[in-house]
Amino acid sequence: MNQPTKARILPDELLREFAQRFGTPLYVYDAATLLARATELLDARASDGRGFDFVRYAQKANPNLALLELLREHGVLVDAVSSGELVRARSAGYAPHQIQFCADLFDRDTLARLGAEPFAVNVGSPDMLEQLAAVPSATREVTLRVNPGFGHGHDAKVSTGGSTSKHGIWHEALPSAVLRARRHGLEVVGLHVHIGSGSDLENLTRSGAALEAAARVVGASLESISAGGGLPVPYRANEARFDLQKHVEFWCGVRARIEGQLQRRIDLELEPGRYLVAECGLLLSEVRGLKRNGEHEYVLVDAGFHNLVRPAMYGAWHDISVLGRDNEPHEPFLVAGPLCESADVFTQGKGGAPLPRELPRPRIGDLVCLHDAGAYGAAMASNYNSQLLAAEVLVEHSEARLVRQRQSFEHLLEAELRCRR
Ligand SMILES: Cc1ncc(COP(=O)(O)O)c(C=O)c1O
C-alpha cells in the first residue's frame, strides 16, 4: 500500500511554473499558511477568556525579510539571537522596542547596538547583567531566561534546558541573579523559559511550576512571563496536531496563579519559531539520476543538506512527494543530494541509519517536494561544496514574488581575498 504523504501546500501547476521560472533547488513559501498559523496563536483563548498577550516570532527558524514583514504587519513581535538578527528585524520594519535580544552572551557589536537603540533584552547568563548595565543608554529593564533544570526537544541536540544545556540562568542561581541585577540598577520585569524545540505538550508545560517559583523570587517588579517556543508541527501525514487549546489553558492558569501571588496584571508571551513557519514552506528539487548501490536504490536530486540539513543533523523526517506521480505504485528509495558527503541523504534516521522511503518511481527531470521545510531549512543553509544558496519564493494572493535571489558565483567568491594575483 502507498504510504500517505501530506498534501502539497500549493497546486502542482504553480510549482512546475516556479521550477521553470526560478530554477531548482527552490524554497517556496505560502503566505496564507503562515498567516493562518499566526492568527491561530494570536486568537487562542483559554476558558478565562484570555490568551497570549504577545506572540513573538523566533526568527532563527526562518529569517527571510519578506516573512518577517508579513508577521510584523500581522501583529507578531520578534526576537533576535544575534546582531545580525537585530539588523534584520529593523530592516523588516520592526521598531526597537518590538525586538527582544535573547542570548546567553553579548558580543561587542551587540552591546554597541543595544546602546544605540532601545531594544528589549532577555538575559541568559548572569555576567550579561553587568555588561548591559555598563552601556549608558541601553535598557534598564530586563527579562531573565530561567533554565528550569530539565529540557526536551525532538532531538537531544535541540534540548535547551538541564545541566547539559548552556542556555539560561540555572533555576537555583536565580535569587543571586535578581540581586545582581538590582545592584547594577536593572529592574527584572520579565521571566522566560524555553526548554527546547519540537517538544510535546507534557514537557512544554512542565516548566510552568519553575516559572511560578521564579515569580516568587522576582516579586513585585514582574510584569510579564514568556512560555518560550518549542511547539511541534506534524511532519508526518498521520501525526496529530499539537493541542494548542491545552497549551493556552495551561499557561493562562500559570499566569492567573502568578497574578494571584503578586496581586497585579501579568502579560503572557509565546515565542514560537517552527510552529509559525514550518508548514508554510517546501523545498522543490529536480531528479537528476537514479541508481542502485547494492540493496539500496537511490534517487539523486539537486537539493542537498546545504539546503536542508535537518535529516543529516537530527535524523529528522520530512515527507517527500513526486509531482504528478502520487497515484503510481510506491517502492523503497533513498533520496540523496549532490554533495560529496555520504551524509547527504534526506531519508535517514538518527545516527545516520538509512531509512528507505516508499515513493513512486521518479524519472529524471521530475520535481520532488520536501514538505514542511519552512523552519530551520533556508535558515540553516550553507555554501558547503561551494554550492549556492537556493532562491526563495513567496506566494501571496496567488502572486509569486522572488524573496531571495539564487546566490551567484560572484557573490560566493566576493569576500575572499587572494594572496597572489
Ligand atoms: C530562546 C528561544 N526561543 C524560541 C525558540 C524557537 O523554538 P521553536 O522553533 O521550536 O519554536 C528557540 C529555538 O530553539 C529559542 O532558542
Average pLDDT over every residue of 382-399: 97
Domain ranges of the chain: 12-28+278-405, 95-272
CA 340 to ligand 1 centroid distance, Å:
31
- Segment 26-42, tens digit of pLDDT: 999 999 999 999 999 99
Q: What is the pTM of this model?
A: 0.97
- How much is the average pLDDT of 310-332? 97
With pLDDT > 70 as the criterion, what percentage of the chain qualifies?
100
* Protein residue whose Cα sits closest to atom 14 of ligand 1: 197
User: Ligand 1 pocket: which residues have CB below 6 Å?
Assistant: 58, 60-61, 102, 160, 194, 197-198, 228-231, 271-275
Q: What is the pLDDT of residue 64?
A: 98
At residue 9, the 3 state secondary structure works out as: coil
Task: Point out the ligand 1 atom lying closest to the alpha carbon of residue 273.
Answer: 9
Which three cell numbers mark 65?
Answer: 525579510
Write the CB contacts of 88 (distance below 8 Å, at least 6 apart in sequence): 59, 63, 65, 68, 80
Cα–chain-centroid distance for residue 329? Answer: 35
Q: Encode pLDDT of 194-203 as tens digits.
A: 999 898 999 8
Question: Residue 2: its pLDDT value, please?
Answer: 72
Q: What's the confidence (pLDDT) of residue 137?
A: 94
Condensed to tens digits (0 to 9), the pLDDT of residues 219-269 reads: 999 999 999 999 999 999 999 999 999 999 999 999 999 999 999 999 999
| Ligand 1 atom closest to 158 (CA) | 14
Cell (9 digits) for 235 = 511532519
Specify whether the CB–CB gap between 222 and 262 falls below 8 A: yes
Atom from ligand 1 closest to the CA of residue 153: 10
C-alpha grid cell, residue 44: 487562542
What number is the average pLDDT over the span 45-61? 98
Q: Give the Å distance between the CA of 376 and the centre of ligand 1.
A: 11
> Ligand 1 centroid vs 135 CA: distance in angstroms?
27
Please compute the mean of the pLDDT values over residues 197-215 and round it to a whole number: 92
Query: For a substitution probing ligand 1, which of 56, 77, 145, 194 has the most ligand atoms within 8 Å of its CB?
Result: 194
12-28+278-405 and 95-272 share one CATH topology? no
Q: Ligand 1 center to residue 124 CA distance, Å?
A: 13
pLDDT band at 420 (very low <50, low <70, confident <90, very high): confident
**Which pLDDT does position 11 carry in this prediction?**
96
Q: Which CATH class is domain 95-272?
A: alpha beta
Fold observed for domain 12-28+278-405: Lyase, Ornithine Decarboxylase; Chain A, domain 1 (2.40.37)
* Cell numbers placing 348: 535517514
Q: Work out the pLDDT band at 1, boundaries 50, 70, 90.
A: low
SS (H, E, C) 188-213: EEEEECCCECCCCHHHHHHCHHHHHH
